[in-house]
Amino acid sequence: MKKAIISGLYAVLLAVILIVTSGNAVYADETGIGVEAGQDMPDFTVTMTDGSSVTLSELLKEKDLVVFNIFASWCGPCEKEFPEMEKVYQDKKDQIEIISLSFEPKDTMEIISEYKESHGLSFPMGLVNSDLSFLQIKNVPTTIFIDKKGMVGFIKVGAFLSREEFEEKVNFFLSPAYDGKPIASEKAVKVFPYILLYFFIGSIFLIIGRWGIFKKAGKKGWHSLIPILNIYQEYSVCWKGWVGLGYILCYFLVACCNYIANKLHLPGISSYILAGVIYLLSLVQSLKLAKSFGKNKVWGVLMSLPGFKEILRMILAVSKAKYLKPEER
């Protein structure tokens, strides 16, 4: 009964976290970027990669809507939303203008020019300058919709996930039915607190689960409290412990590859390969661990997945499942 209650509570926690963080954004009255929906957008002039200057007030004499986008050359979500914005721009560039500026200090006009060309983008791009000092950008992408009268009609902090999502907002401001009232802004969900909570509770479940597993396998339960040693011991329940050391080594290599890739702005393909190796080792180990307690392959596969990993180890620890020696399997 106690096992069922604990597992149920953890499952509910995971469900809540998934529901809260599954959306791209939440509605918010304030975005904290220096301007808010319903306010007039301060006029500004910026220089584009082709050397031309663009002034907001002049643009609004020609266009019905200006979409002002802030990005950075290293931003993955920005890179994913640009093709969708480009498609809408090609269809509606007689009515709208998209201006996309990088706020990354290390970005130069040359970098942005190459970025624009390599991504096949036709709308004006450049760099944030002193005219935009009123903005307080903390997250990219951030997109501001400015209507014909120069009012901020909508702000989105976070990426547009599809052409339809972006086009829906554009059409709203171009519609004859638009009454000059702003739309509630959207802010990307801050998932870090939920991830932190997940790892905290998950770690407690994992420690308790491994403690019970180690004791059933004739090892010292308190080894589950010691980082690296706990992984080494769990792998040694199935194989020789050195396999666990290989798993740990892969983790360190992934961290190093990510650090180097981020510093040099390189594609992190090597880290993806190593992450695949890590999961493969985890999958095979989970299958063997499940077999060690008389469980089937489905159980083993689930034990390699986040969330199930902690729950099922906890169940193995508190249930009547017995550890089977190699000759008994």
Report how far residue 265's alpha carbon sits from residue 111's, in angstroms, rounded to the nearest whole number: 12
Strand pairing report for 25-28 and 45-47:
unpaired
pLDDT in tens, the chain (329 residues): 444 444 444 444 444 444 444 444 444 445 789 999 999 999 999 999 999 999 999 999 999 999 999 999 999 899 999 999 999 999 999 999 999 999 999 999 999 999 999 999 999 999 999 999 999 998 899 999 999 999 999 999 999 989 999 999 999 999 999 999 999 887 665 656 777 787 888 889 999 999 999 999 888 999 889 888 888 888 888 776 566 566 667 666 666 766 665 555 555 566 677 677 778 878 888 888 898 899 999 999 998 888 888 889 999 999 988 988 776 76
Would you list the DSSP string of 30-50? ---SS--TTSBPPP-EEEBTT
Spatial strand order in the sheet of 152-157: 25-28, 185-188, 152-157, 142-147, 65-71, 96-102, 125-127
**CATH T-level topology, domain 24-188:** Glutaredoxin (3.40.30)
Query: Given this model, what pLDDT does residue 93 score?
Result: 95
Report how far residue 196's alpha carbon sits from residue 155's, in angstroms, rounded to the nearest whole number: 28
On the 0-12 / 13-18 / 19+ scale of CB atoms within 10 A, 302 is middle
Residue 299: partners with Cβ closer than 8 Å, 6 or more residues away: 290, 312
Taking the domains of the chain in order of start, what are their residue ranges?
A: 24-188, 192-328
Q: Are 135 and 34 in contact (CB under 8 A)?
A: yes
